Structure 1
Amino acid sequence: MLTNDNILNALKHVEDPELHKSVVELNMVRNIKIDGTHVSLDVILTIKGCPLKAKIQQDIEQALKNIGATSVSLQFGSMTDEERRTLTATLKAQNVTDQGMPKMLQPNSGVKFIAVTSGKGGVGKSTVTINLATALARLGKKVGIVDADIYGFSIPAMMKIDQKPTMIDQTAIPVESNGVKVMSMGFFSKDNQPVMWRGPMLNKWIRNFLANTHWGELDYLLLDLPPGTGDVAIDVAAMIPQAEEIIVTTPHNAASHVATRSGLMAQHTKHKILGVVENMAYFENADGEKNYLFGQGGAEKLADELNTHIIARVPFAKPEENTGSSVYDEDSVVGEVFTHLAEDIIYR
């Protein structure tokens, strides 16, 4: 027999897909009516036009049918301004301290920060970021990416994300793709317009990405830094002294020579260097012969200069063309490289 209590108990297991909290806990379920095995109720969404309304509807209907409802009618509404303010205050209390410091930056937060950097652009730093993050997520970790390359943001396009973050007042809910939560300046730049800011604004936006985003529980937060040793890299070093760094280069001596500067900056700011990733390391033809298109030895020289080691060599390969994404399939050669790298990071 259907009752209000067993309906609410069933819906406690239905989560808002963005906030990852129960729709019952969020007080989204109201005005339950039962007529035999028919159930009707109101679902109050956080905002009008919620992009995941269909997902919420599907999950609620399935949960109720699992306990014996033969038909379900849902009426959708949205929270009042006062309800949203209350929710925002609750989310903010979970994200920041009373002094306004992001709680994830506290030493006991449990979040591990990995900054992915390079000396110059075009070496595949963002490709490494998204594929390492995806590999960590595939291994069961809760992962986020901050696209900290404010001028050269590319993560949304590379992950084929066409959705914008949901905004609840001033709190952003990161977009999730491939099991990874993502925040990027690309979500806020209209029609791919350039960002023309100086240092203070860059610092402000990085802090916003950390403090005014509801990340929920995270094991790892990867930061895709702009190439070089400019304002953002300096700000991240100051804000997140516990961050560890991966230096990305190609085998070419010029790329590795420039990357040395980023590594030396990491050492200067007391960031631990996890190692060097050599991207575009080689191309393997159908006969299994490796062709070193960018030469050899640059990554070894870089690792020696930074007193670290090469933690991955990523060959040339095309991602799955039918997806349009730069995330490699788990079973591909490159996907396996990143799986091994993620395992090394988790179990080191």
Structure 2
Amino acid sequence: MESGNTSSDFILLGLLGHSRAQQFLFGMVLTIAFTSLVSNALMILLIQWDLRLHTPMYFLLSQLSLMDAMVVSTIVPKMAADYLTGIKSISPAGCGFQIFFLLTLGGGECFLLAAMSYDRYVAVCHPLRYPMLMSWPLCLRMTMGSWFLGAADGLMQAVVALSFPFCSRREIDHFFCEAPTLVRLACADTSVFENVMYICCVLMLLVPFCLILTSYSLILAAVLHMRSPEARKKAFATCSSHVAVVGLFYGAAISNYMRPKSYRSAHYDKVVSAFYSILTPMLNPLIYSLRNSEVKGALRNRSNCVLLKLCQLKCQ
């Protein structure tokens, strides 16, 4: 089954076995991954198609959907191929690329969610100054900064993690290459790198999270001073989708990357990783589409246009 492996390859032990129940779970994983790719692609296309969604808020949302789709594309195809073929090897280069892309996308999403919280703060607290405080140049700079900071962290951790010498037993108890799991296989003292890696993860998570908390504290203070129940309801509706997405992402990420080593277990790590890398990317576009009237309106208009064109073709 693994005769194609070379001595330098790593072995991914995977997420599931081959019992009947686990085969059912594998089918569910593929279904969730496919739904995630389709829903995120649809969100990007809707924002591109509908001129009313050509605003900084929805541009940032399209970047979030792009990141989510790329996370699923980085993990699930390799995991599915390993499960179906039984050949679970991955080259050091492939492992490095997985670490780089996942940290780029995960770190980028941290800062992108912070940018989205600032956008909501300006929309609720300074609506008349929104075009100036949330201009397109600022929006593009925040987006590019999110990608750059994530890529810098991903490149650093991927290069350093693969620079260590590894023991003959190269089995990674995970379904994708992750820097903390890979470093445990090293035949060298990795304590300094592990401490630096932990500090990087804390900074990448907590700095944007503090910015998000600050934005929503100011939003809450502004909403509580609103006299109109209608204005309060509209403000809460504007922010509720983003708060739900932040809660899902940060809950899983903090649980996975900021737990003490003494509380870590391979099974728990894999379950939490599956949640934030496979399930959360599917939930994000659903949350925004179900709780956002503008997105639902754009989807309805696009569906009506498609149906009208189909009727015209049929009549011809």
User: What's the TM-score once normalised by structure 1's chain length?
Assistant: 0.22
TM-score (norm 2): 0.24
Q: Looking at both structures, which has the greater relative contact order when contacts are Cα pairs under 8 Å and sequence separation is at least 6?
A: 2
